[in-house]
């Protein structure tokens, strides 16, 4: 249905967010694409684009086409529109960064606080770094679109709180968003670290895969699930916790969670390090294990290959339930490459139905150490650039 001019005027900023979402999802690159895939008239599209151009969120740039034809006008998000402040809290160190909406990291710092220090010293340190990062890139607090935190614990995403027991002593139900509320008008988002690494890997390297499972094999083991292109969290945010699935309990090793025979107790970096110590090596975590693998120690390689088969056992169950098109294996142990992946493939292809495995790929992760920061930035960007949020954002002057 075509709209008359007064109707278009009455729309105001409403609907601009929907047009932006078609561009951000990659469905539309130009005005012509928008006219083709949406049921909006050219006049309505022009009005909504005008609102987006005026807000500074979107711009139109000349881009030479691969075919060598005349340059096309393509619609692009203005990555400089706002800033995300992000922190990746690890067990023994913290990374903080300011990113644009790409996201690209604009400035970054590394701190060596242990997560056991508790929430107040850690959040105080992070807040101070955020101020310095903003000063370094010359952007005011008003341009901050959101704060994103990656935490090594189960997280209630909606509340932005750690829930349940974890390595994060003292964080359980601590009001993380409330900590930043006085300083920034922007919302605060918190999420589990493995889930954010899943998000970063998916967006950066596999955006076309709508069904993806990421397995983090490091000192601990966890997983993240993308279904229909979206992060799957589960009813209480506990989805993907594969590290403590019990494989067997007779003569099974003790897990650090207190149960017997968990996946972690066989295949985590700490468990392999335990087995290496029993063979006379000095090893405490996944990094130590990898140092021995990289020195071609057969004992370490053999244990990593065995860990791959244990991961394969649980991955086979995951494939049977979720039928992903790709399994990405990340974490420190994934640096062992085929030593780890071979066992995963072996068990998955042996145990799953051909229908589930015929197009399945099992690959090593590509993202590097900045994945937690980029995942946290995606968390902020996804939330703030949802259609209804965009309509609100551009209905008032300035971001934030």
Residues near Zn ion (CB under 5 A) are 244, 255, 257, 259, 262
* Residue among 244 and 335 whose Cβ is closer to Zn ion: 244
Closest CA to 334 of 369, 373, 360, 384: 369
Report the nearest approach of Zn ion to the CB of residue 220 (Å).
9
* Residue among 41 and 246 whose Cβ is closer to Zn ion: 246
* Residue among 199 and 267 whose Cβ is closer to Zn ion: 267
Report the nearest approach of Zn ion to the CB of residue 260 (Å).
8
Helix (H) or strand (E) holding 189: strand 188-192
Phi, psi of 11, deg, nearest 5: -65, -30
Q: Please, are residues 204 and 317 in contact by the beta-carbon 8 Å criterion?
A: no
* Residue among 220 and 224 whose Cβ is closer to Zn ion: 220
- Distance separating alpha carbons of residues 105 and 87, to the nearest angstrom: 12
Report the nearest approach of Zn ion to the CB of residue 120 (Å).
29
DSSP assignment letter at 29:
S
* Residue among 40 and 263 whose Cβ is closer to Zn ion: 263
Q: Please, are residues 122 and 113 in contact by the beta-carbon 8 Å criterion?
A: yes
Closest CA to 229 of 214, 212, 205: 212
* Residue among 166 and 210 whose Cβ is closer to Zn ion: 166
- Distance separating alpha carbons of residues 393 and 400, to the nearest angstrom: 7
Report the nearest approach of Zn ion to the CB of residue 248 (Å).
13
Burial 17-28 (b: 16+ CB within 10 A, else e): bebbebbbeeeb
Helix (H) or strand (E) holding 188: strand 188-192
- Distance separating alpha carbons of residues 193 and 134, to the nearest angstrom: 24
Report the nearest approach of Zn ion to the CB of residue 91 (Å).
16
Report the nearest approach of Zn ion to the CB of residue 315 (Å).
17
* Residue among 79 and 306 whose Cβ is closer to Zn ion: 306
Report the nearest approach of Zn ion to the CB of residue 370 (Å).
29
């Amino acid at each position: 249905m075509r709209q008359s001019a007064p109707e278009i005027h009455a729309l105001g900023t409403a609907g601009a967010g929907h047009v932006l979402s078609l561009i951000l999802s990659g469905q539309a690159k130009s005005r012509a694409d928008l006219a083709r895939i949406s049921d909006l008239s050219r006049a309505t599209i022009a009005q909504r684009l005008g609102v987006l151009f005026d807000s500074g969120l979107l711009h139109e740039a000349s881009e030479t086409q691969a075919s060598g034809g005349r340059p096309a006008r393509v619609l692009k998000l203005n990555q400089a529109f706002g800033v995300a402040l992000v922190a990746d809290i690890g067990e023994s160190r913290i990374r903080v960064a300011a990113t644009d909406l790409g996201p690209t990291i604009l400035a970054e710092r590394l701190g060596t606080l242990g997560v056991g220090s508790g929430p107040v010293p850690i959040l105080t340190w992070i807040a101070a770094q955020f101020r310095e990062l903003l000063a370094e890139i010359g952007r005011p607090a008003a341009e901050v679109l959101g704060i994103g935190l990656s935490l090594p614990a189960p997280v209630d995403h909606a509340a932005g709180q750690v829930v349940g027991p974890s390595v994060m002593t003292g964080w359980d139900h601590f009001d993380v968003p409330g900590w930043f509320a006085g300083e920034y008008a922007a919302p605060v988002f918190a999420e589990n670290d493995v889930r954010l690494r899943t998000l970063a890997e998916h967006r950066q390297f596999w955006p076309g895969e709508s069904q993806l499972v990421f397995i983090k094999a490091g000192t601990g083991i966890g997983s993240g699930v993308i279904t229909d292109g979206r992060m799957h969290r589960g009813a209480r945010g506990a989805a993907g916790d594969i590290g403590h699935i019990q494989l067997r309990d007779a003569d099974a090793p003790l897990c650090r969670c207190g149960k017997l025979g968990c996946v972690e107790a066989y295949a985590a970096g700490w468990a392999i390090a335990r087995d290496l110590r029993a063979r006379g090596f000095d090893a405490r975590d996944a990094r130590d294990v990898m140092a021995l693998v990289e020195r071609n120690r057969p004992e370490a390689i053999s244990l990593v290959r065995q860990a791959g088969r244990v991961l394969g056992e649980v991955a086979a169950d995951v494939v049977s339930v979720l039928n992903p098109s790709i399994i990405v294996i990340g974490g420190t142990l994934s640096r062992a490459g085929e030593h780890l992946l071979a066992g995963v493939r072996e068990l998955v292809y042996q145990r799953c139905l051909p229908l589930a495995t015929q197009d399945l790929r099992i690959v090593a992760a590509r993202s590097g150490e900045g994945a937690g920061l980029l995942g946290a930035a995606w968390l902020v960007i996804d939330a703030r650039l949802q259609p209804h949020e965009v309509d609100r954002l551009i209905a008032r002057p300035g971001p934030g």
